[in-house]
Amino acid sequence: MITFGEIINNVHQGLTDALPAWLAATIEYVIIGAGFLGLYCVLALILILLERKICARFQCRIGPNRVGPWGLFQSVADMVKILLKEIISINNTDKVLFKTAMFLAIAGSFCTFGALQFGDGLACIDFNVGLFYILAISSLGVVGILLAGWSSNNKYTLIGAMRSGAQLISYELSAGIAIMTMVVLAGSLNISDIIAGQSKAWFIFQAPIPALIAFIIYLIAGHAETNRGPFDLPEAESELTAGYHTEYSGIQFGFFYLAEYLNMFIIAGVAATVFLGGWQPFQINAEWAEGFNSVMAYIPSWIWFMGKTFALVLLSLWVRWTFPRLRIDQLLKLEWKILMPISLVNLLIMAGWVLIF
């Protein structure tokens, strides 16, 4: 079977043979950038349609059903519409920051997206502190949200931004500690090493008790970081109209919208990579399961990654449309009094687990 790594190597070889090194490198960067941008947008369209369909199911509706079969092209139509919409410029805003904020929000999301590994050999950014990079670069988005809220010069947006900032900073801690717990098990921050370490059994099966606790904590904290229900206080529509992006219109709003949906995908992707083996197939580490293992390994790696990620995305949608919104004090209590202590103790359990087994 031809792997992505071979295709990429062949293309790289062909380009470097035919062209000078700097031109070949530039062309490669442009291809990779365009590819990632395309994937980013297509995933956003799929996620938006998925969300609307599933939300409709939860509310006993049908959801989009007019554009194309089963409403499949609804989000394409919406995309065209949002691109054509007028961008309304507002007086009395801090114009520079207002325009910068949306790019920061989407750049933070896109930079994190680039660090995911979509399949065997389908990795863009892969260096020895990959996981740390993912945690670090996502801070761009927080700055974007805070600036958007403030520069709009509107009380609703400011309150939304403050809530969002408090929420992101708080939940970043337990998400980071949950990831660190798994780094203790993996012994590396390199994403390729982490995935390679799960070729026999996924980390969640290698250390069932601490890994499962960390997995649940990461899912809760990650879900809170995406600003989606039940943690959607930053844009609580019944209280704050639309939170920090109230004043944005047209594609400017689209940027925040896109970043929000892709952040959901990224959180699910990171969880799939760190806990569920990334693109590694499901393997049973026993002699009787050889046939089963080879069947599982025959399924392409990118299907494994996408399957796991979308399963976690569905979980996130399920949570969003099931639970009522938390109050701000409940939100902070959940993080500081429940998740933080558990994740710190869990880190110790994991360290003990690694030392003993």
Partner 1 sequence: MENIMQYITAGNIIFFILAAATLLFGILTVTSTRILRAATYLFFTLFSIAGLYLQMSYDFLAAVQLSVYAGGVVILIVFAILLIKGLGEEKEINKGDRKIMGIVAAIMGALVCVSFIAKCGFTNSELAEQIAEQVNMHMIGSTLMGTEKYQYLLPFEASSILLLACIVGSIVIAQKNKEVKK
Of 86 and 329, nearer to partner 1 (C-beta) is 329
CA-based torsion, 307, 309, 312, 318: positive or negative: negative
Decide if residue 165 touches partner 1 (CB under 8 A): yes
Of positions 3, 139, 241, 293, contacts partner 1 by CB under 8 A: 139
**Rounded (5°) CA angle 309-315-317:** 105
Q: Does 307 bind partner 1 (CB under 8 A)?
A: no
Q: Which two tokens stand for residue 288?
A: 């009787």
Stretch that binds partner 1, among 150-158, 254-262, 324-332, 334-342 (CB under 8 A): 150-158
Q: Which two tokens stand for residue 82?
A: 């949002």
Strand partners, 36: none
Q: What are the backbone angles phi and psi of residue 117, rounded to the nearest 5°?
A: -110, 115
Single out the residue of 100, 199, 241, 293 in contact with partner 1 (rule: CB under 8 A). Answer: 100
Q: Supply angle C-alpha 69, 70, 74, rounded to 5.
A: 85
Report the alpha-carbon distance of residue 120 to residue 163 in Å, rounded.
39
153 binds partner 1 (CB under 8 A): yes
Nearer to partner 1, 99 or 325 (CB): 99
Which residue among 22, 288, 298, 357 contacts partner 1 (CB under 8 A)?
22
Using rule CB under 8 A, residue 173 touches partner 1: no
For residues 126 and 290, which CB has a smaller minimum distance to partner 1 in the complex?
126
Residue 255's closest CA among 115, 121, 100?
100
CA distance 157 to 235: 8
**Does residue 135 bind partner 1 (CB under 8 A)?**
yes
Query: Which residues in this chain contact partner 1 in the complex, by CB under 8 A?
Result: 22, 25, 94, 96-97, 100, 127-129, 132-133, 135-140, 142-143, 146-147, 149-151, 153, 158, 161-162, 165, 169, 188-189
